[in-house]
Amino acid sequence: MVGIDEVARAAGVSTATVSRALSGKHNVSDSTRERVQEAAQRLGYVVSSSASSLASGRTRNIGVVIPHLDRWFFSTLLSGIAEEVTRAGYDITLYNVTPDREHRRQVFDTFLRRQRVDGVIAVALELGEHESRALLSLGMPVIAIGGPNELLPTLSIDDVGLGRLATEHLLAMGHLDIGHIGADPEFDIDFHIPSSRRHGFESALRAAGIDPRPELFEPGDFTIEGGFRAAKQLLGRPGASPTAIFAASDEMAIGAMLAARDLGYRVPTDLSIAGIDGHELGRFFDLTTVDQFPARQGARAAATILHELEQPAGSVPDREELPYELVVRGSTARIGT
């Protein structure tokens, strides 16, 4: 591996000048810079990140803490982060936290503290106080996407509003008997998103003068299969007979569509179905949804961190709301049409 002194020799300057020329500092004459760049190019020189990091204290690397890699929402979000981060010439190192307590503790207390990264993006994790403090104590820019977090700067989405918007859409189409597939109350302890959506659902109903009926609710696990099972349950329940279903995720909504079809319902003629997320399959299934633009969420978090790194002047804003948008497609219609 060629080192900086070889380049210095080749360009006839000191290593200090090579370092300055290559890292784009402004106090190098143009001619020198060109000569250095040409020499570096010719010799195939690339700075060693460990040496550079040690000397400068900057790694040009962003840590991403993420609970799942193989779920659509997360991988899409990660993709958004990756694009933005790569564009800025930074690398990404991945910390895939599993449900395993011990491993999770290790990520926060050890892995992230190895000074391998300049900043951290924590994706859709419900962080405990210890974990939040661990992130804070890293002494570097940190941003959380998702759950509200008192201690950390957060890019959060209004899950109550998301649920309300989807429900209001169904109400606006004249539906009064709306089923809901969502939060299993069991999970609520450390995963609040689904129950927020459910609150949005119920508050929209109440605002329209409708009392939520327990028999119109069915828990689901956020997969297509789970939505399918839940919808069969809901639609088969005596006395339930909803004219619309709001599922707390697009994957469950798609499962519900398939279940409805299975049971002989025509969507949307007999049953309207709406979801949340903006899943890529939504277009294919012609699913009405509230899009939350996960790729853009990732890109935005990345941009915020990068900005903070380049201009430490403005600190990360404490709390920012992410946009969402109702996308009306063919799975919902006015009642009775």
Partner DNA sequence: GACTCGCATGCAAGCGCTTACATCGGTGCA
Partner DNA sequence: TGCACCGATGTAAGCGCTTGCATGCGAGTC
Rule CB under 8 A: which residues touch its own copies? Answer: 1, 44, 46-51, 53-54, 59, 61, 68-70, 72, 75-76, 78-79, 82-83, 86, 91-96, 98, 103, 109-111, 113-116, 139, 224-225, 228, 255, 281, 283-284, 295
Partner interacting with residue 238 (select from DNA, its own copies, none; CB below 5-8 Å by kind): none
Of residues 33 through 62, those in contact with DNA by CB under 7 A are: 45, 47-48, 51-52, 54-58
State how far the Cα of 24 lies from the Cα of 12, in Å rounded to an integer: 18
Q: Does 23 participate in binding DNA (rule CB under 7 A)?
A: yes
Encoded tokens for 179? 């089923």
When the beta carbons of 92 and 335 are compared against its own copies, the nearer one is 92
* Closest C-alpha among 246, 255, 244 to residue 333: 244
List residues bridging with 48 in a β-sheet: none
Encoded tokens for 176? 């009064």
CB 148 within 8 A of CB 94: no
Distance (Å) of CA 64 to CA 70, 93, 283: 15, 6, 29
CB 313 within 8 A of CB 282: no
Q: How far is the CB of 113 from its own copies (least distance, A)?
A: 4
Q: Which stretch binds DNA (CB under 7 A): 9-17, 162-170, 240-248, 254-262?
A: 9-17
Asked, as a colleague might, if the bond just before 268 is cis with ω within 30 of 0, I would say yes
The torsion of the CA quartet 30, 36, 37, 40, rounded to 10 degrees, works out to 180
When the beta carbons of 14 and 98 are compared against DNA, the nearer one is 14
Partner interacting with residue 315 (select from DNA, its own copies, none; CB below 5-8 Å by kind): none
* Closest C-alpha among 120, 144, 203, 156 to residue 324: 156
Q: Using the rule CB under 7 A, which residue among 29, 86, 110, 137 binds DNA? A: 29
Q: Using the rule CB under 7 A, which residue among 24, 26, 44, 318 binds DNA? A: 26
Q: How far is the CB of 10 from DNA (least distance, A)?
A: 12
Please state the length of the chain: 337
At 89, which amino acid appears? G
Partner interacting with residue 167 (select from DNA, its own copies, none; CB below 5-8 Å by kind): none
Q: Which stretch binds DNA (CB under 7 A): 12-20, 93-101, 266-274, 279-287?
A: 12-20
When the beta carbons of 19 and 288 are compared against DNA, the nearer one is 19
When the beta carbons of 109 and 129 are compared against its own copies, the nearer one is 109
When the beta carbons of 55 and 94 are compared against DNA, the nearer one is 55
When the beta carbons of 41 and 98 are compared against DNA, the nearer one is 41
State how far the Cα of 301 lies from the Cα of 204, in Å rounded to an integer: 30
Residue 44, Ramachandran bin (φ over 0: left; ψ between -120 and 50: alpha; else beta):
left
Sign of the CA dihedral 115, 116, 118, 123?
negative
The owner of tokens 């606006």 is: 172
Q: How far is the CB of 90 from DNA (least distance, A)?
A: 15
When the beta carbons of 92 and 208 are compared against its own copies, the nearer one is 92
- Applying CB under 7 A, the residues found at the interface with DNA are 1, 3-5, 12-20, 22-23, 26-29, 31-32, 45, 47-48, 51-52, 54-58
